[in-house]
Amino acid sequence: MIWAQLSVFTGDSRVYTLDSMSDMESLRRALAESPENVPLLQLYAQACVEAFSLSEARETFERILNIQPHSSEARLGVAKVLYFEGKTSEAAIRAETLVKEKPDFAPAFVFLSRLYLSENNKALAEDFYERAIALSKQVADSALEKELGLSRERMEKGENEKSGDQRHLFGSEWKEEDPDSPPGSEDDYFFDDDDDEDPFSNPQRDFSLADFERPKVSFADVGGMEDLKEEIRMKVLYPMQNQELFKAYGKTVGGGVLLYGPPGCGKTLISRAAAGEIDANFFSLGLHQVLDMYIGNSEKNLHQIFQLAREKAPSVIFFDEVDALAADRKDLKQSAGRTLINQFLSEMDGTDSNNEGVLVIGATNAPWHIDPAFRRPGRFDRIIFVPPPDEVARESIVQVMAKDKPINDLDARMLAKKTKHFSGADLKAIFDQGAEEALTLAMKEGRIVPMNTKALVKVAKSIVPSSKPWFESAKNYAMYANQSGFYDDVLSFLGIKK
């Protein structure tokens, strides 16, 4: 581990180092003796990240925040965990909020640089990295500099230009830090449309009808899960296909549907296939396409997207990780987040426009974090649980995964039976790991060594379904926070009676 020299004092005159904590169990024993030792908790959380125990890492970072609510390291740790979980947009939101409130915390700028580089936004990645180096040389990352194509001469020049400059990054006009202004207040942000020399100027995104697609997939391309497909047909597709009939009964066509369930279970594919079933225009949105660091631009982006969907009706707007965009307002302290949620609610209501023929689909792994106002009739009032693929669906997925790979005597049905509660992502992991093991042997023998069912089943036994921790959390909400019956499908899936 890279923290091998770090020592942690527990308060009882003993010192723990990573050299004496080479495994996770040693770290746990140390925490049992000193459960509120923040440096030790930080060390353990980082070790969990290295071991890719992401749920345990996030739980530990949140324990730190319960003890020290303003810990920058723990807040950045949570953002990193979200990024590793594939929740890039939520990770960006948390990291950007952190640098707004702690503009001198260099590691957060480095993280944002890597995050935006992964999103192919090299210009912004360079800006964030240069800001980090101007704050602290200790966060220098030669590998990241190489990926960004930054020379040492340029870095030193940028450092001299920004030396001592503690002005905020998030504004189209730079402003000196006011010690009397609270972090994150509206006084921190200025706008000047005439300032063309601002290196961080970021005009509003320009969406167009070209951003919509006509999906070529349909439910025929989604293996198994027939009950889920029929539920979507009844709640979503039939109204769109029989508009005149539904209008005769005073039913509007469109509205919102919320898909929730464990990660990696095909919510995006199902949504795209649903649009393909009715030959509707489809717009898949990551939150980074909506959210903007400049005040007011996020709301404008959202309005533009809905307006285009109305012009292109029938259309489907798909919001991935919608819980970050539609978060419970009581959990938000910043007014900017509340304003965006209000805009989202207004667009779904069609307050100033007609949403006829516009279907909004939101996907989330954490429905309990969504503002209750979104579940009001006319918004996300149709709620559908997307469970892990059933056995028939798993068999279909296995067959797809096996295509174009050297495999002998594949028994897709047997592998499907051995992978109960596995998500599509988990099944892919089986083939990835199986391929690595076969490739290792192939390199030693100098020939192609095919995979087989026995080897894949063996790999499957070593993988814990990623849906397991999700169901552990969902079960608590379904048992103790389910007054409206919102999570009855989760209880039914788990075989639990109310």
Helix pair angle (24-33, 38-50), 10° resolution: 160
What b-and-e string marks burial along 54-70, b requiring 16 or more CB atoms within 10 Å of the CB?
A: bbbbbebbebbeeebee
Return the pLDDT at 88: 77
Angle at 241 between CA 235 and CA 242, to 5 degrees: 90
Query: Which CATH number does 209-385 carry?
Result: 3.40.50.300
Q: Tokens for 251? A: 């039913």
Which sequence spans correspond to the domains of the chain? Answer: 7-169, 209-385, 391-461
**What is the band of 419 on the pLDDT scale with cuts at 50, 70, 90?**
very high
Contact 350, 395 (CB under 8 A): no
Question: In the predicted model, what is the mean pLDDT of residues 396-408?
Answer: 86
Instruction: Name the residue type at position 182.
Output: P
Is 445 exposed, middle or buried, given 0-12, 13-18 or 19+ CB atoms closer than 10 A? exposed
In tens, the pLDDT along 276-332 reads 888 888 888 776 777 776 777 788 888 888 888 888 888 888 988 888 777 766 655
Contact (CB, 8 A) for 91 and 82: yes
- State residue 417's pLDDT score: 92
- Could you read off the pLDDT of 185-197 as tens digits, one per residue? 333 333 333 344 4
Q: Which of these ranges, 118-122, 277-281, 389-393, 460-464, has the smallest mean pLDDT? A: 118-122
Beta-bridged to residue 361, according to DSSP, are: 257, 318
pLDDT of residue 138: 84
Segment among 122-136, 304-318, 347-361 with least mean pLDDT = 347-361
**Residue range 199-211: mean pLDDT, rounded:** 54
Q: Find where tokens 């788990």 sit.
A: 494
Report the pLDDT value the prediction gives residue 34, as an integer from 0 to 100: 76
β-pairing verdict for 15-17 and 7-9: antiparallel
Helix/strand/coil for 367: helix
Position 174 scores a pLDDT of 35
In the predicted model, what is the mean pLDDT of residues 6-15?
39
Mean per-residue pLDDT over the chain, rounded: 76
- What CATH number does the domain located at 7-169 have? 1.25.40.10
Of the pLDDT bands very low, low, confident and very high (cuts 50, 70, 90), residue 153 is: low
The pLDDT of residue 281 is 87
pTM tops 0.85, yes or no: no
Q: Are 354 and 309 in contact (CB under 8 A)?
A: no
pLDDT of 486 reads: 83
Residue of higher predicted confidence among 108 and 355: 108
Of 168 and 136, which is predicted with more confidence? 136
Q: Quick: pLDDT tens for 241-258.
A: 777 777 777 666 677 889
With 80 as the cut, is the pLDDT of residue 17 above it?
Answer: no
Residue type for 240, please?
A: M
pLDDT for 464 equals 86
pLDDT at 448 over 50: yes
Rg (CA), the chain: 25
Q: How many CB atoms lie within 10 A of CB 496?
A: 12
pLDDT at 253: 67
pLDDT at 352: 67
DSSP single-letter state for residue 213: B
Report, as an integer, the average pLDDT of 384-412: 87
Say yes or no to pLDDT of 171 above 70: no
Angle between helices 122-135 and 152-162 (to 10 degrees): 60
* Residue 2 pLDDT exceeds 50: no
- Give pLDDT, residue 415: 92
Confidence class for position 155, pLDDT limits 50, 70, 90: low
pLDDT score recorded for residue 193: 39
pLDDT grade, residue 172 (50/70/90)?
very low
The arrangement of secondary structure in 391-461, i.e. its CATH architecture, is Orthogonal Bundle (1.10)
- Please give the structure tokens belonging to residue 450: 């095919």
Among 236-245, 253-262, 378-387, 405-414, the range scoring the smallest mean pLDDT is: 236-245
The pLDDT value recorded for residue 211 is 66
Could you report the per-residue pLDDT of 37-59, keeping only the tens digit for each? Answer: 888 888 888 888 877 778 888 88
For the cut 80, the answer to whether the pLDDT of residue 400 exceeds it is yes
Residue 450: pLDDT band (50, 70, 90) is: confident
In angstroms, the Cα distances linking 431 to 89, 409, 421 are 28, 15, 16
